[in-house]
Amino acid sequence: MLDDTQTSAATAARPKDSLGCLSSHLYRDLELDTGEFRFHRKCTRDNKASAVAMHGSERGFLIGVSLKTGHRRRIFSGHRWTSHDFEQDSIYIRDFADDYKADLQSGFDFVLIELSRAFMANACYERSGASVPRLAPLAGHKDPVLGHLAQVLALTLDRQSEASPLFVEQLGVTIGTHLLDRYGNAPPQSEKKSRRLSSLQEARAKDMLLAKSQDNVSIEEIASACNLSRSYFIHAFRETTHRTPHQWLLERRIDRARDLLKHSDYSLSEIAIACGFSDQSHFTRIFSQWVGVPPGAWRRQACN
């Protein structure tokens, strides 16, 4: 029988992931790393208790969003601790610079967003002129906005082969902006102030979106060409066109696909590639969502 010292040593020797979770407890463990942002889906199969312990580092900030109700954890600070219950859309915020120790007293299903310190510093400076980003640590706080974005991220992580880099970048910037506005040291910008692109900026942005295939253009490139920050550009583009850049580009691709379906003999797989979709199944799924019927059915109706 193992004594306490042997048990502790055995536990410490068990493999852990990059966030301190015991890998053996996870039945779903997904990751999408863009450099600036790292998105995770961590899910346990049962309610086994586990623990997380990590030393401070310069990795940046971690935001966890619970996808379901029922998780409970005890977070330690020195010799003190606090307990937190997580419902669906409950979040926690960690600064990786701080040591972290927590007992996870039940199972969980979380989307986790890791934002690099460099990204947060740049975003903070763009919004307020402050050079040092700060996010107030918290746990168990409900945030429906992040809850909605986490659901989108969960679907994106499940279909990484179809994930648009443009869309993923938009998500990361949107999440970082929301965090700074609501929990950080950057004063929120007035929503009443009009933020629209000039006609020249709008034309330049649309030209750049259309000129690059397969989303090989970044929000940062387009915003820089318009002499704007990324967060400002995304808001201004949406206010000007009533679409996010990714939505606007998808509409153009769907329009192009409809034209080819009606006026060409290309196969569905050829149209999918010509319009910038990853494959025929991706094209069929997106076309059906936007138009309401699959492309094959739409072609038959349009050509009758």
Tokens read off for 275:
């319009």
Does residue 216 form part of some domain?
Answer: yes
Window from 5-9, 57-61, 112-116, 206-210 with minimum mean pLDDT: 5-9
Does residue 278 form part of some domain?
Answer: yes
**DSSP code for 159:** T
Does residue 150 form part of some domain?
Answer: yes
pLDDT-derived band at 163 (thresholds 50, 70, 90) equals: confident
Q: Are residues 36 and 119 in the same domain?
A: yes
Provide mean pLDDT across the span 70-90: 92
Which range of residues forms the domain containing residue 292? 249-302
With a pLDDT cut of 70, the percent of the chain lying above it is 88
DSSP per residue, 72-110: EEEEEETTEEEEEEE-TTEEEEEETTS-EEEEE-S--EE
Q: Are residues 103 and 230 in the same domain?
A: no
Residues 6+ apart with CB under 8 A from 289: none
The rounded distance, in Å, linking the Cα atoms of 46 and 25 is 8
Provide mean pLDDT across the span 121-143: 79
Q: Are residues 16 and 159 in the same domain?
A: yes
The rounded distance, in Å, linking the Cα atoms of 277 and 282 is 6
CATH number of domain containing 206:
1.10.10
The rounded distance, in Å, linking the Cα atoms of 295 and 56 is 52
Model pLDDT for residues 9-37, shown as the tens digit of each residue: 444 445 777 787 777 788 888 999 988 88
pLDDT-derived band at 187 (thresholds 50, 70, 90) equals: low
Q: Which residue has the higher pLDDT, 129 or 261?
A: 261
Q: What is the pLDDT of residue 103?
A: 92
Number of folded domains that form the chain: 3
Provide mean pLDDT across the span 244-257: 91
Q: Are residues 95 and 226 in the same domain?
A: no
